[in-house]
Structure 1
Amino acid sequence: MLGSQMRRRKPRILCLHGFRTSGEILKKMIGKWPAAVLENFDFDFPDAPFPAKGKSDVEGLYGPPYYEWYQVNEVECSNFEECIAYIEDYMVKHGPFDGLLGFSQGGMLAAVLPWMQREGVAFTKVPKIKFLIIISGFKLRELKHGPPKLLVNAFSAPVACPSLHLIGEKDFLKEVGFTLLKSFVKPSVIHHSMGHTVPKLDENGQETMLKFIEKIQEMFSQDPWIALGPKAAL
């Protein structure tokens, strides 16, 4: 029988960084959020499998090394299947993970992963992802040679797991971020005034984030092995 003071594990989040950055960089960016948010989860920040093949937009702000999940141009997307296999293998070896957080290119991957899992095209070896936090997310652009095989008919039906989307007023991906919302059932949204970055949370953003955490808390309340931090922290 579990004692009332026994420490229970917090929901674990796999965090997928942006294009030509790194897990360590995303960790530093997320670290700007208030403790009232961060203390509710255990975060894991892996690096993407491929070293950056060009200049990083964060040079001068954050040091190397830099990595990328896949490569894409107007014609085709390369290394996508290898990227998905890498993430699934990481989840098997280092999981289980309860949710995903993704920024930019990592946000694209986080957004589509529950759909791939539901359709049985990937992530069949890991537990069901229960929630998403997507920052500057997007859908993969239309390509001359068509989408990667794993993404044929992507988002053919809306994704039902709870999702929180952070969209910046000055983000060059703002419009595609709004388009992505249509692929989710009742998504929560934080609007911020910044560009393509992980924003600090203002009062309204923090309130929305904490309400989302409460929703996750309710979802996990029946599991005796998972608990968020005390509500007093909220």
Structure 2
Amino acid sequence: MDFDDLEEAEAAEGPTLEERREALLRQARVEGERERFPFPAGRNFANGKMKMLFLYGGGVNQKVAKLQVGNVFKESPMFKNMEFFILEAPTDTAVTWHPHDSMVQQLRPFGETVYLYFDRLPCANSQTESWVGIERSFAALKAHLREHGPYDGVCGFDMGGEVLAQAARMAQEENDPDLKGMFRFMILFTSGSAKHLSELGLRGKRPQSPLRLPTVLSWSRKDENHPYTWYEETALFVAPECREVISHQCGHMPPKLAKGCEELERLTNFLEAMHTSSPWTPSDHADNAWSSPLWLPLGRSEPLKLELGARRRLLVVTDPMGSHDFDLKLERVLHAVSAGLLEKPRAAVPFKSVGCPDLTDDVRTSLEVCMLTPAEFVAAASGSAVSVESVTYSEKQRSYDWHSHCDQPPCLAMKREDIISTHRQELLVRTWADELMQGITFEDEDAVGIVGLGTGCFIAFAIARMLVKDRKVVPAGLWVVDAPTSLPTETTLRPAALIDCPVRYLVHSSSQVGPPWCWEVSTCGPFSMSTFESSRVVAKLVVDEFLAR
């Protein structure tokens, strides 16, 4: 066969997997660029200065908000060219809404009454966290803008930023008459997005295309209140060419930016461009590098129905670290609860008291998932068309700690098992994938499903990528159960690495882990997530879903 014959043969086989991936991403970009943000006409609406609207975090008031604005902006040369206005939240409550006495004492000098844009039910960081009262804040914001708009920029912290991110979505996607043409840019500090399983998420009120207005997004990986992956997800909802990410070290608060620091310099560069309407592009700073090729939501292809007669083979990738130290953590949590050192779980009483998660169930279920074995999946598949096999770890592999770099997670809402962070570990997991799959082969008629458990999800992901890259096999499905949600940059930097493989993210209902964006960007195929109450249902859930493909 000469080269012409070879080229004709390759062409007859259709597009390569990489060509399919590129075509899916091109289509996703086209779909994402259809929406345009409705900007106001003009600029510098405060008599030549930039007119700014600030929305504060939960449980403070205008006095505190003025200090927060000063901390962020006063050292910037652009501060003199900005005039700030503050939107008071519509619901008042007592300062004792805050659960910690230290916060209550810090805020008391500013008054006994504080304000909320919404409250988090059943508690902060719940997988179903819903924002009770946010419709009232939307109404207050719209009324304010009708009377006082337009503004050059809107700026929000925590709850305030979450209201503004939703308002930007409503302006762009819903062409809301009270929000369109009301602001030109946005600055968000420590702001999350509506979760997949929240009331807004289930109503389709997460962004349906990337927001296309210039936006600064800033947060700290040392945030004490929420997983930083939540703030990362919000950044991905802004188009890459429109976003500037600025990390800081100040925890859960708007950062106090000192004169001369590079964070302030990048913020100032952004503000100068907005003030003069000069061309602006995101900087090449490392804060932007992890997300520069990524965005959400990705366009999704329709799930492919497996051919009749396809052999369904399910590969189980267990947790190589076994129980981790969840058994010891469970003992400590049980003791702390019985001693009154940890509060028992409770749902929030809206605008009266915050909710508390069920830490006992969280740790117990994490332990049970990590201890699941292939036997549970074999039993669930008994008598069905699914055959089950598994990888086998060496003793050396079982002794490796994938989370040794994060003995003290930066956030109470994140466990060390949620984080795998180094480039070395991405290189290592590729080696593991090759070694673990040496004795496992597939035929053309095989439909390959992969399920990862706990830390094993990282290895399952590497195996799935290896199958795509080296064996030219797109798995029929990838299920990840209680998976790490913070992965090395090198792992997630390539969107749609799994082409159009369906990806299912399953997490136990009491988990406080952040959004699974690193799994969501891995495919242009179907992506979905759901919760489960008990580890006992996991194997049957996965097998039943595989059979339904």
Task: Please give the range of the TM-score, normalised by the shorter of the 2 chains.
Answer: 0.7 to 0.9
Q: How does 1:66-215 map to 2 (within 5 A)?
A: 66-74=114-122, 76-120=130-174, 122=176, 124=178, 127-143=181-197, 146-147=199-200, 152-171=204-223, 172-173=225-226, 174-186=228-240, 187-202=243-258, 203-215=261-273
**Contact 2:54–2:87 (8 Å) recurs in 1:** yes
Task: Please name the residue that 1:38 is paired with.
Answer: 79
Deviation string for 1:121-149 (max 9, x for gaps)? 645366332100100010123446x3289
Supply the distance in 2 between the matched residues of 1:107 and 1:183 (Cα, whole angstroms): 14
User: SS in structure 2 opposite 1:199?
Assistant: coil
Q: Which moved more, 1:115-124 or 1:85-94?
A: 115-124
The answer as to 2:65 corresponding to 1:26 is: yes
Report the CA distance between 1:107 and its aligned residue.
1.0
1:75-111 CA distances to partner (integer Å, 9 max, x unpaired)? Answer: 6432222210111101112222221100000011122
* 1:15 matched residue in structure 2: 54
Q: Deviations over 1:56-88 (max 9, x none)?
A: 364222322210011231464322222101111
8 Å CA contact 1:69–1:105 kept in 2: the answer is yes
2:277 alignment partner, SS class: helix
Amino acid at match of 1:49: P
For 1:3, the equivalent position in structure 2 comes to: none
- Whether the 8 Å contact between 1:96 and 1:126 is mirrored in structure 2 is no
Aligned to 1:4: none
Q: CA RMSD in A?
A: 2.5
| Residue pair 1:18, 1:104 contacting (<8 A) in 2 also | yes
Q: Is the 8 A contact 2:219 2:247 kept in 1?
A: yes
CA contact (8 A) 2:76 2:268 kept: no
Indicate whether 1:216 and 2:274 are aligned: yes
Rate the CA distance shift 1:81–1:132 in 2: closer, same or farther, 3 A.
same
Q: List alignment gaps of at least 5 residues for structure 1.
A: 1-6, 222-234
Describe the SS at the equivalent of 2:256: coil
Distance in 2, Cα, partners of 1:141 & 1:213: 30
Distance 1:8 1:85 in 2: 27
Structure-2 separation of matches of 1:194 and 1:213: 21
What are the equivalent positions in structure 2 for 1:52-63 lying under 5 Å apart?
A: 52=93, 55-56=97-98, 58-62=103-107, 63=110
SS in 2 for 1:165: strand
Q: Tell me the CA shift for residue 27 of structure 1.
A: 1.1
In structure 1, give the amino acid aligned to 2:104. Answer: E
More helix by share: 2
Question: Does the 8 A contact of 2:257 with 2:264 survive in 1?
Answer: yes
Distance 1:153 1:90 in 2: 22
Q: CA deviation at 1:47?
A: 1.1
Task: String of CA shifts for 1:129-176, please: whole Å, max 9, x gaps.
Answer: 2100100010123446x3289x62421100010000111121143221
Partner in structure 2 of residue 224 of structure 1: none
CA contact (8 A) 2:49 2:82 kept: yes
Unaligned ranges ≥5, structure 2: 1-45, 123-127, 280-549
Asked if the contact 1:134/1:166 (under 8 Å) is kept, the reply is: yes
Letter matched to residue 167 of structure 1:
W
Q: Indicate how the Cα distance of structure 1 residues 124 and 43 shifts in structure 2: closer, same or farther if over 3 A, else same.
A: same
Cα distance in 2 for partners of 1:123, 1:142 equals 26
Percentage of pairs with the same residue = 20
Equivalent residues of 1:72, 1:78 under 8 A apart: yes
Give SS of 1:13's match. Answer: strand
Query: Per the alignment, do residues 125 and 199 of structure 1 end up closer, same or farther by CA in structure 2, a change over 3 Å counting?
Result: closer
Opposite residue 247 of structure 2, the aligned amino acid is: H
**TM-score normalised to the size of structure 1?**
0.81
| Moved segments of 4+, more than 4 Å | none
Which residue does the alignment assign to 2:360? none
Specify the code of the residue in structure 1 equivalent to 2:238: F
Matched AA of 1:147: L
Is residue 95 of structure 2 the alignment partner of residue 47 of structure 1?
A: no
Tell me the distance in 2 between the aligned counterparts of 1:107 and 1:219: 23
Cα distance in structure 2, aligned partners of 1:14 and 1:68: 17
SS of the aligned residue for 1:52 comes to strand
Hey, what's the Cα distance between the residues in 2 that align with 1:25 and 1:110? 19
Looking at structure 1, the residues matched to 133 and 206 of structure 2 have their Cα atoms a distance apart, in angstroms, of 17
Are residues 142 and 23 of structure 1, via their aligned partners in 2, closer, same or farther at CA, if it must alter by over 3 Å?
farther
One-letter amino acid of the structure 1 residue matched with residue 143 of structure 2: D
Whose relative contact order is higher, 1 or 2, with alpha carbons under 8 Å and at least 6 apart? 1
Is 1:13–1:42's contact at 8 Å kept on the other side of the alignment?
A: yes
Q: TM-score, normalising length from structure 2?
A: 0.36
Q: Tell me how far apart the structure 1 counterparts of residues 197 and 179 of structure 2 sit (CA, whole Å).
A: 29
